[in-house]
Chains A and B, each alone.
Chain A
Amino acid sequence: MTHEPTPAPGHGGHAEAPPAPLSNILLHPPARPSHPPVPPPVAAPAPLEVRIDGLAVSVRAGSTILEACRAEGIDTPTLCYSENLNPVNVCRVCVVEVKGSRVLVPACSRKVEAGMEIETDSERVRTSRKVVLEFLGSSVDVSLAGPVAPDGSIAAYMERYGSDPSRYGPAAPPVAAGERDAHEPGHHHAPGGGPEAATVAQPVKVDNELYVRDYSRCILCYKCVEACGEDAQNTFAIAVAGRGFDARISTEFNVGLPDSACVYCGNCIGVCPTGALMFTSEHEMRAEGTWDESAQTITNTICPYCGVGCSLDLHVQDNSIVKVTSPMDSSVTDGHLCIKGRFGFQFVQNREG
Chain B
Amino acid sequence: MDLHVIGPLASPAERAAVDAILGPATSGWSGGERNAATDGRAARGGHEARSRRDLLLPVLHAVQGRIGFISQPALNYVCRRLTIPPAEAYGVATFYALFATAPRPPVVAHVCDDIACRLVGAEALCGDLERSLGPAGSPSADGRTTWLRSPCLGLCERAPAAMFTLAGESSTTITAAPVDAVGVASRLAAAAAGRTMAGGTTDVRAFAPQAGEPGVRLLARVGQVDPEGLEAYRSAGGYRALANAIAMGREATIAEVTASRLVGRGGAAFPTGRKWSAVLAERSGQKYVVCNADESEPGTFKDRVLLEEDPFAVVESMTIEGFAVGASKGYLYLRGEYPIAGERMANAIDRARSAGLLGENIMGSGFAFDVELRRGAGAYICGEETALFESIEGKRGEPRNKPPFPVEVGLFGKPTAINNVETLANVLLVLTGGPSADGVGGGEAFASIGTEGSTGPKLFCLSGHVARPGVYEVTFGVTLRELLGLAGGVPGGRAIQAILLGGAAGVFVGEEALDTPLTFEATRAIGATLGSGVVMVFDETADLVDTLRRIAQFFRDESCGQCVPCRVGTVRQEELLARLAAAQRAPAPARSRDAELELLREIGQAMRDASICGLGQTASSAIESALKRPGMVAL
Contacts and interface: CB of A to CB of B under 8 A. Distances in A.
A241 B90 contact: yes
Nearest to A133: B564
Nearest to A97: B609
B452 interface: no
Contacts of B303: none
Contacts of B100: 184
Nearest to B553: A190
Most buried by A among B4, B51, B96, B412: B4
A106 interface: yes
A341 to B, nearest CB: 20
Contacts of A236: 1, 85, 87-88
A291 to B, nearest CB: 28
Contact of A124 (B53, B94, B557, B609): B609
Contacts of B602: 127, 130-131
Contacts of A242: 94-95, 561
A190 B95 CA distance: 20
A253 B69 CA distance: 13
Interface in A77-136: 89-93, 95, 103-104, 106, 109-110, 124, 127-128, 130-132, 135-136
B401 A197 contact: no
Interface in A144-182: 167-169, 182
Interface in A188-202: 188, 190-195, 197-198
Interface stretch (A28-36, A243-251, A300-308): A243-251
Interface range, A side: 35 or more
Contacts of B95: 185, 241-243
Interface in B545-579: 549, 553, 556-565, 567-572, 574-575, 578-579
Nearest to A102: B617
A135 B565 contact: yes
Interface string B58-98: 00000000000000100110000000011111110011110
Nearest to B613: A103
Chain B facing A: main interface SS = helix
Contacts of A187: 97, 137, 148-149, 557
A106 B612 CA distance: 9
A212 B581 CA distance: 41
Contacts of B608: 103
A128 B609 contact: yes
Given A1-B53, A236-B85, A239-B90, A245 B575 contact: no
A205 to B, nearest CB: 15
A244 B567 contact: yes
Given A128-B605, A135-B568, A185-B97, A235 B86 contact: no
B572 A241 contact: no
Nearest to B93: A241
Nearest to B586: A193
Contacts of A285: none
Interface in B595-611: 599, 602-603, 605-606, 608-611
Contacts of A124: 605, 609
Most buried by A among B565, B602, B605: B565
B141 interface: no
B606 A239 contact: no
B158 interface: no
Contacts of A186: 97, 150-151, 378, 557-558
Contacts of A220: 561, 564, 567
Interface string A60-79: 00000000000000000000
Given A220-B567, A239-B91, A240-B396, A188 B557 contact: yes
B562 to A, nearest CB: 5
Contacts of B396: 240
Contacts of A182: 102
A139 B86 contact: no
A349 interface: no
Contacts of A198: 571, 575
Interface string A4-40: 1000000000000000000000000000000000000
Interface in A302-335: none
A261 B2 contact: yes
Nearest to B55: A1
Contact of A89 (B53, B75, B378, B401): B401
B88 A247 contact: no
B85 A237 contact: yes
Contacts of B379: 185, 243
B176 to A, nearest CB: 20
A290 interface: no
Contact of B560 (A238, A243, A250): A243
B572 A135 contact: yes
B609 A103 contact: yes
A219 interface: yes
B568 A195 contact: no
A252 B571 contact: no
B559 A132 contact: no
Nearest to A89: B401
A130 B286 CA distance: 44
B582 interface: yes
Contacts of A128: 565, 605-606, 609-610
Contact of A239 (B85, B101, B565, B617): B85
A266 to B, nearest CB: 17
A234 interface: yes
A346 interface: no
B561 A131 contact: no
Contacts of B549: 190
Nearest to A246: B561
B19 interface: no
A124 B609 CA distance: 8
A193 B583 CA distance: 8
B590 interface: yes
Contact of A252 (B87, B575, B582): B87
B329 interface: yes
Interface string B2-19: 111010000000000000
Contact of B75 (A168, A192, A252): A252
A131 B569 CA distance: 9
Interface of B: 1-4, 6, 51-54, 72, 75-76, 85-91, 94-97, 100-102, 137, 148-151, 286, 329, 378-379, 396, 401, 412, 549, 553, 556-565, 567-572, 574-575, 578-579, 581-583, 590, 599, 602-603, 605-606, 608-612, 617
Closest 7 A/B residue pairs (Cβ): A193-B582, A247-B561, A186-B97, A236-B85, A261-B4, A131-B606, A135-B568
11 contacts: A91-B564, A104-B610, A132-B606, A138-B568, A239-B88, A239-B91, A241-B91, A241-B95, A247-B561, A251-B87, A261-B3
